[in-house]
Structure 1
Amino acid sequence: MNKKYPRGSEWRKWDLHVHTPASIYHRYGPDTEATWENYMKDIENLPSDFSVLGINDYFFIDGYKKLVEERISNNRLSNIDLILPVVEFRIDKFAGIDFGKLKRINLHVIFSNDLPIETIKSQFLQTLEQSYSLESGEQWTRAITRESVEELGAKIKSGVPAEQLSKYGTDLEEGFNNLNVREDKIFEALQKDCFKDKYIVAIGKTEWAELKWTDASIATKKSVINKADIVFTASESIEAFDKAKEQLTAQKVNDLLLDCSDSHYLSSATDKDRIGNCFTWIKADPTFEGLIQILYEPEERISISDNNPNLEFDKPFFSEISISDKLNIFKEEDDIHFSKNERIPLNQNLVAIIGGRGEGKSMLTDYLASSFIGQEHSKEGVFNKNGALKLSYQKSNQTETDFIEFELTEEKKAIDFIYINQGRLKNLVEKKDKQFQLANSIRRLAKLKQPEFSSDLDKNIRELINEFHELQKFFSVQDDEGNFINSKEFLEAQEKSINDFISNITTSENKDKLEKYSENLRLRNNLNSKLKELSELESEIKSSIEKLNAKINLTNGDLDKISKIELSALKKQFDEIIEWKAEIEKKIAEISKTILEVKEEFKDYKGDLTTLLNDIDKFQKSLSEIREKISDSKIKKERLDKLQSIIFESSDVEISLIDKIKKDYEKQVKELISSWDDFKDVDSKDSLNPSQKSIMKNLLTDLEIEVKIDFDIEKFYDEIYHCIDGAKWRIKGNREAQKNSFEVKDLDSYFEFLKNKYLEFYISDGIHSKTLKSKLFFESERQKYLKVFPILKYKGKDLNKISVGQKGTVYLKMMLATEAFSKPIIFDQPEDDLDNEFIMQNLISLFKELKQYRQVIIVTHNANLVVNADAEQVIVASNKDGNLEYSSGSLEDNEINSKICQILEGGEIAFEKRRRKYQKIG
């Protein structure tokens, strides 16, 4: 890139009314080399902000010629980018007015520096023949040259008495003082083809303003100022300039006013008409074509200020792209690459990147954006990041030293800027679940209050509903016989039984029975022992006889000498044993009957009756425990009833938790609306200046919100599906059957279900009660189908009911409104995502305003966005056999201007539209 001003239009100081020592009137000193040296040094010592000077020596351009020669031959005034030739006339527009008492109207013609000096002289100055009547009646008719003007002065002075000559100036001065050029002759001379598009006309405001508004002169006075392109003034201060500007505006005449020094003195003088005393800043290339731009965009291109207008607002910006070596854009691909040794300085205002299809305009921004954290890009393929491309980021425009240079590598960098890649807005607004996602995205953009269900209320609900169901579970416990063992009724029955039992066994009669019962048990045990003893004796006698007989047999052998013992020999003993046993058995039977009678009387006691009296303390303890359970059951039952009221039932005194849930959503709605109202209350934002407030209001025009409590019935039944046991609930897969059963069809019926049917379903067979509880009462689950969000409306229409282009427009307006005055924005082809009406009627003017406060970089094929938004810099992308190259400059750059018309459809029309918009009407 070898252009002189690749960064495009920038603010520079322009002083278009500077006299030289060659002027007829000046206070620099005599026309000597020393005076000229002091003069040139004074200009060379001007602050660096000064870029353009208009050299004005009245009718003549000898001073301009000398300075041009000094620049070419001796490299003088190299600090000044451009010197323009200016010719100043005093016109005779107001014939019949006594000019002796008035200053005459000064008309200035500012010529392009491309015009040869001799062309200005021969084709313009020397063609302006003027007729002047001397007091002698003799006519003076000459072309305007230094010699002819001196001759006129000499002739005028020749008729003056000798004693009055001391009051007159030189011949040149007197000739100049009396020469009033005809306005029509000036404009007629400028019609030559050599001057086409090579001049503009300015008129002096001060002299024009001193002419009175009369019925005879009003039309002429308006005509002369409106015919001029611009108006000159030399103000003592910015306040004086503002006052002069306001007067012109109020008089409804040409108010394109520039401040100039009208310098006649060196900068060291105290007179206001001194070198360097100028407040005019122009945002343009320091070229004649740059000056022409103020005719089309005066408000954006002109600033009257002590300081550089760039410094009025602090803003970060990307300042330069540089490519040190040929760079393959994609990994493992070599068919497309960035050109080596590219350097693209970036303007801090509006940068437009243009080019034909496939020329690399979006490729550049996508490559850059993909190197930073959080930025999306749309190009397919993996970018090759080897550090050959560097991006410089200026943290502030207040200093040139506070910047970061990023070598773009695989490691992503952290810089906060907005990148809207091609089609991003369209994709965003067309996403599934778009209603909530888009609304939530807009809520975040506007920094609206996040709709949040009360965490305290949610915690309270969780605790109370869990407590409620735990109590329900407590009272639902049954024993094998189906008794609800924790119910007050069951426990009180137990209490009565134990209490009656204790009362019963503690009577004297029962005490005697129990004591006798114990004695009978002891006696029966003794009798059973005796009975056992007799039986054992009987068996032992029989066994002894058998053993003796066996021994007798053994002793006898074959002889039978000794007789065997017969059982009958002991009959008496056996009979006595049998009799005794019978007596004992009878006695045992009698005692057992008595024991059984006592046990029947104490059948409810499962333990040992013999220790019953000793265990009476245990029964008393059991009774106490039962009574504690009864007390606990009463408390829990009261709590259960209380919780049922708290959760499900509203009263005049207190509303239910379910109603509090509903109220909380209504509260979220109010808070969101209030947050939106605060957001739109631009006038209350003290941090914004009037211009910024105007921008904000413009962005927010046609935007309103409706805050919705959204109950998604389909998602509700999706969640309910998880609460149903398919093995038991025959309608698990039948959505309509579920709806018919639950009878929830909207938000109101949902809350009715919570109040009146939830408990019934909670205990229903086939319902997973814990899941049902969480789906309905836990906010983390409930928000899956019930939430509060804002619905943005554009021109009264729901955002979800307008075109994709309009949605993109709304989203962009919100994005810009919330980040309007801070970080840079890069927007790839906004015309693809936005409503065309918005682009033409709003976006162009919006960009023109926003670029004061933030850097805006757009990739576009829309000529209106480039031309009528008055882009400060245009970067032209080109693809030469896969080699991407970029050239840049301003709109006033003829080459860039031509590229716009070639590349962008309607480019010429856009330029013509701009010209017509600002065309002056004489």
Structure 2
Amino acid sequence: MNIYSDWFKVDLHIHTDFSKKTKTNDYQGHFDINVLKQKLLDNDIKLFSLTDHNIINVDAYENYYTNFKAGDPELLIGCEFDIEVPESGTPRTYHSVIIFDNNSIDDVKIISKKIEDLYIAKRLLDTDRKIVIDDLYDLFNEFNFFFIPHAGNTKSILDPYRGYDMKLCQQMVLLMPSAFEKVKESVRQKYNEGFDLLKSFDFQEKDDIPYINFSDNHNCDRYPCTNKDGDDHEFYCIKGQPTFESIRFAFIDPKSRIKKYSEVEVLKRFDNFLHSIEIKNNKLIEDANVFFSPNLNVIIGGRSSGKSLLFNILGNKIGNSKSDLNKYTLDVSDIKIKSFLDTDYKSSITYNLSDVIYINQGDIVNYFENNSLKDLIKESGKSEEYKFALEYFKGEKNGLSELVDKLIDLYSELIDSLNSNFTLHHRDIESIFDTSYFFKAINNVENKKETFDKSSELLNELLNNIDDFKVNENWELIDLELKLVDDFKKLVTSKKNDFDIVQQRHLSKGNLIRSVNEIIKSKNETLDLKGREKESSNHRLRLLKDNIFDLFDLLKRFQDHCLLIDSYSYNFSKEININNEVTVVLEIENQDNINKKIFDGLNFAGLPPKSVYDSLVKLANSQIKIKNFPDNSPDNLRKKIVTLLGPIHECFDKPMEYLKYSEDSSSKNNSPGFNSEKYLETILKNGNSKIVFIDQPEDNLGNRFITNNLIDIIRDLKFKKEIFLVTHNPSIVVYGDAENIIMCTNDENKVKYQQFVLEEKVHQKEICEVLDGGHYIFDQRARKYNIKKLIQS
């Protein structure tokens, strides 16, 4: 048996041949306690009871207790009673198993005598034994016992109450430490609805009515068959140690502590969770072997008792980078650790990064303060989407850089263009209007080399690949398709021939014009001085016109691009959906306009800036200056703008990350506490990890969230992941139903680690002494319901 709470098979309804004394022919075959014991061992039963009808087989109990040895199933005293409800006016009785918090032969004899004396006083025949519920109270008021009535067969507790007062029946079951036996899953919902009518609103629709089925075996040779000669029994399991107190905890919290064996089999962990840690010869920590549950492990203790020390030792031993042992100056090289899959203890265990969530104190708030939710994204299996989002921002950053580069290039063109010749001399004007003549060259030959090269490449690729297309191994063409391919090849070949002709004609045209221009050039050289001067003047006029047109064209392009800069806004965002309630948003916000940044780098000498275009045109004309630079060269302008836009470029590298919630709010406009709750809830619900470490999560969480959300999350999660929680909050320990409690104490600077379980009364006392409010939480859990409404009714 593990020293943490674990599942064990239980069977509290087994008959002996004594049942034949009170029910004719009730038992099949011969009963032998040793045969039953071996059957129980074969079926791995840890806790059982002998529950005959209205009688106790004292000899069977005495035989078992006398020969009991370590490893044998634990035996609790029990009896199955026929209970009548006189007020109902019907002779029908119901069966209820009563299980006592007793396991000694002396107690067996005392309880048996009380039962026998009752029936003698009532003058009832052995085969007509029955009692009323008040008899149970009177007989056993000094004993702790469980009341487990049948509720799903012919001896159901509902039968005598149905025609009398069903509400009274329901009240009794809620008020007593009880469970229902022999109830089909298909009718449990009906029972729950009836109980909900009595419970206060906060307790309604909770899965907290205990249902449990036992074998009701009447033939030890055929154990574990049901009833006398029925089908094989489907075992139920209870979580804890094989004790009466474990049953009490199970009836208080059935959702966490009662399951069919088949369900427990599904919950069993076979992945590489942490198994235990071995501490020896350490100057600060007492020697210990601490074993870990594959479910919920809570680390508790007073101030400076070694809670966070153990948390960080475990993080160090699994190689987690966030563990911090430096503050303890402690050598942990001799501390060994073991995983579920290891045979021996090791110095350390290596896990994949995605296998472990490790959250230190204050980490959750720090994630928001640092604007990084990368851990949440990773744990939610959204790393690829995160990578694509960052690539998107990188692309937008490159887009801005390209926008600036083009601005500088256009500015450089403007500088060059302004240095061009825009002068037409008086002599040129006179020469242009002179009556002399010259021959004008032909200048309208279109340069089609680039488009011809592309067309030629396309045609050649089509022709080269058509034959490969016909015989490709990944598809097969039918005859009609093959004919289409051949026809297409003929079409392409035809177009290639036509294209060759077009190219040849264009080449011939170009050659002809070049030849004509050579002739014109030679003739112009034979003209008189006036004619040649007129030719030169017209040539300079053409250059002047080209320079002017080029400048206006450049100014138009420059103005259009400057308008892009003026209107540029870097409001970009990408969303990564985590679940229906939470989305991670990566965002950069436009806080500084690009044009204003550019203006900041220029000295306007008192002239107010109008636009980027107006400013850079003035800069190109030296009407204004670049601050702290000797001249207005394009290279200096580039350096100035790159420096000024540096903070904006950094925004693209580290976009702000925040959570957007389904209720139309976000972590940007909520309190740190609220955000911490949402973060923790999200990372736990969506994590892909196998092991979760959290150091004192309650530090940044509200009590309402812990009670209403976190505990439910942990209760569900602990059967899917191994959880380690350092906490001083009793609600997490008790309502979270921790399977393993590691108690930390510090006596004269020597830390001690002990393992406790909730269902052990001695442990409960020590847990309450360490956790503030522990007594209250244990008391509230034991009450289970707000029964004010029941009492009033």
TM-score under structure 1 length normalisation: 0.62
Residue 90 of structure 1 corresponds to 82
Residue 579 of structure 2 corresponds to 680
Deviation at 1:626, TM superposition (A): 7.3
Residue 252 of structure 1 corresponds to 195
Residue 479 of structure 2 corresponds to none
Residue 11 of structure 1 corresponds to 7
Larger gyration radius, structure 1 or structure 2: 1
Residue 765 of structure 1 corresponds to 625
Contact 1:809-1:834 at 8 Å conserved across structures = yes
d(CA) in 2 for partners of 1:714 and 1:631? 38
Residue 425 of structure 1 corresponds to 364
Q: 1:882 to 1:255 in 2, by over 3 A?
A: closer
Deviation at 1:290, TM superposition (A): 0.8
Q: Secondary structure at the match of 1:900?
A: helix
Corresponding position: 1:291 with 2:243: no
CA RMSD of aligned residues (A): 4.8
d(CA) in 2 for partners of 1:761 and 1:445? 53
Greater CA drift, 214-223 or 703-712: 703-712
Residue 547 of structure 1 corresponds to none
- Which of 42, 62, 66 is matched with 2:60 structurally? 66
Q: 1:407 to 1:485 in 2, by over 3 A?
A: same
Q: 1:13 to 1:469 in 2, by over 3 A?
A: same
Residue 482 of structure 2 corresponds to none
Deviation at 1:90, TM superposition (A): 0.3
Residue 242 of structure 1 corresponds to 185
Letter in 2 for 1:812: L
Q: 1:279 to 1:183 in 2, by over 3 A?
A: same
Deviation at 1:54, TM superposition (A): 2.5
- Which of 94, 112, 120 is matched with 1:105 structurally? 94
Structure 1 unaligned residues grouped into runs of 5+: 132-139, 144-151, 154-174, 236-240, 329-336, 395-400, 479-483, 508-610, 650-655, 682-699, 732-739, 743-751
Q: Secondary structure at the match of 2:733?
A: helix
Contact 1:86-1:111 at 8 Å conserved across structures = yes
Contact 1:261-1:275 at 8 Å conserved across structures = no
Residue 211 of structure 1 corresponds to 159
- Which of 667, 688, 700 is matched with 1:833 structurally? 700
Deviation at 1:98, TM superposition (A): 5.2
d(CA) in 1 for partners of 2:647 and 2:557? 19
d(CA) in 2 for partners of 1:86 and 1:892? 21
Residue 851 of structure 1 corresponds to 718
Contact 1:86-1:110 at 8 Å conserved across structures = yes
Letter in 1 for 2:737: D
Contact 1:864-1:910 at 8 Å conserved across structures = yes
d(CA) in 1 for partners of 2:429 and 2:558? 32
Residue 407 of structure 1 corresponds to 347
Contact 1:230-1:258 at 8 Å conserved across structures = no
Contact 1:316-1:855 at 8 Å conserved across structures = no
Deviation at 1:453, TM superposition (A): 5.0
- Which of 26, 50, 53 is matched with 1:55 structurally? 50
Q: How does 1:345-494 map to 2 (within 5 A)?
A: 345-377=291-323, 380-381=326-327, 383-385=329-331, 387-394=333-340, 401=341, 406-408=346-348, 416-429=355-368, 431=369, 434=370, 437=371, 447=382, 450=389, 459=398, 462-463=401-402, 465-477=404-416, 484-486=418-420, 489-490=422-423
Q: Secondary structure at the match of 1:257?
A: coil
d(CA) in 2 for partners of 1:309 and 1:365? 30
Contact 2:594-2:645 at 8 Å conserved across structures = no
Deviation at 1:185, TM superposition (A): 1.1
Deviation at 1:73, TM superposition (A): 2.7
d(CA) in 2 for partners of 1:385 and 1:716? 58
After superposition, the C-alpha distances for 1:581-616 in whole angstroms (9 at most, x for unaligned) are xxxxxxxxxxxxxxxxxxxxxxxxxxxxxx999999
Residue 747 of structure 2 corresponds to 880
Deviation at 1:56, TM superposition (A): 1.5
Residue 572 of structure 1 corresponds to none
d(CA) in 1 for partners of 2:18 and 2:378? 66
Residue 134 of structure 1 corresponds to none
Q: Secondary structure at the match of 2:289?
A: strand
Residue 37 of structure 2 corresponds to 40
Corresponding position: 1:116 with 2:90: no
Letter in 1 for 2:339: Y
Q: Secondary structure at the match of 2:212?
A: strand
After superposition, the C-alpha distances for 1:647-683 in whole angstroms (9 at most, x for unaligned) are 244xxxxxx5765x54xx55x44x43xx4xx4332xx
Deviation at 1:894, TM superposition (A): 2.2
Q: Secondary structure at the match of 1:914?
A: helix
Deviation at 1:213, TM superposition (A): 6.2
Deviation at 1:123, TM superposition (A): 4.9
Contact 1:867-1:911 at 8 Å conserved across structures = yes
Q: Secondary structure at the match of 1:418?
A: strand
Q: 1:630 to 1:361 in 2, by over 3 A?
A: same
Contact 2:598-2:641 at 8 Å conserved across structures = no
Q: Secondary structure at the match of 2:327?
A: coil
Q: 1:14 to 1:639 in 2, by over 3 A?
A: farther
Deviation at 1:471, TM superposition (A): 3.9
Corresponding position: 1:306 with 2:262: yes
d(CA) in 2 for partners of 1:456 and 1:627? 46
Contact 1:22-1:57 at 8 Å conserved across structures = yes
Contact 1:373-1:414 at 8 Å conserved across structures = no
Count, aligned residues: 671
Residue 121 of structure 2 corresponds to 141
Q: How does 1:549-564 map to 2 (within 5 A)?
A: none
Letter in 2 for 1:338: I
d(CA) in 1 for partners of 2:335 and 2:539? 85
d(CA) in 2 for partners of 1:69 and 1:720? 98
Identity of aligned residues (%): 19
Deviation at 1:110, TM superposition (A): 0.5
After superposition, the C-alpha distances for 1:526-580 in whole angstroms (9 at most, x for unaligned) are xxxxxxxxxxxxxxxxxxxxxxxxxxxxxxxxxxxxxxxxxxxxxxxxxxxxxxx
Contact 1:385-1:408 at 8 Å conserved across structures = no
Corresponding position: 1:869 with 2:736: yes
Q: Secondary structure at the match of 2:741?
A: strand
Q: 1:824 to 1:505 in 2, by over 3 A?
A: same
Residue 690 of structure 2 corresponds to 823
Letter in 2 for 1:360: G
Q: 1:413 to 1:797 in 2, by over 3 A?
A: closer
Contact 1:21-1:36 at 8 Å conserved across structures = no
Deviation at 1:282, TM superposition (A): 1.5
Q: Secondary structure at the match of 1:281?
A: strand
Q: 1:849 to 1:477 in 2, by over 3 A?
A: same
Residue 186 of structure 1 corresponds to 136
Letter in 1 for 2:241: D
d(CA) in 2 for partners of 1:255 and 1:835? 29
d(CA) in 1 for partners of 2:662 and 2:764? 37
Corresponding position: 1:903 with 2:763: no
Q: 1:900 to 1:741 in 2, by over 3 A?
A: farther
After superposition, the C-alpha distances for 1:424-450 in whole angstroms (9 at most, x for unaligned) are 334555x4xx5xx25777677764753
Q: 1:779 to 1:805 in 2, by over 3 A?
A: closer
Letter in 2 for 1:831: E
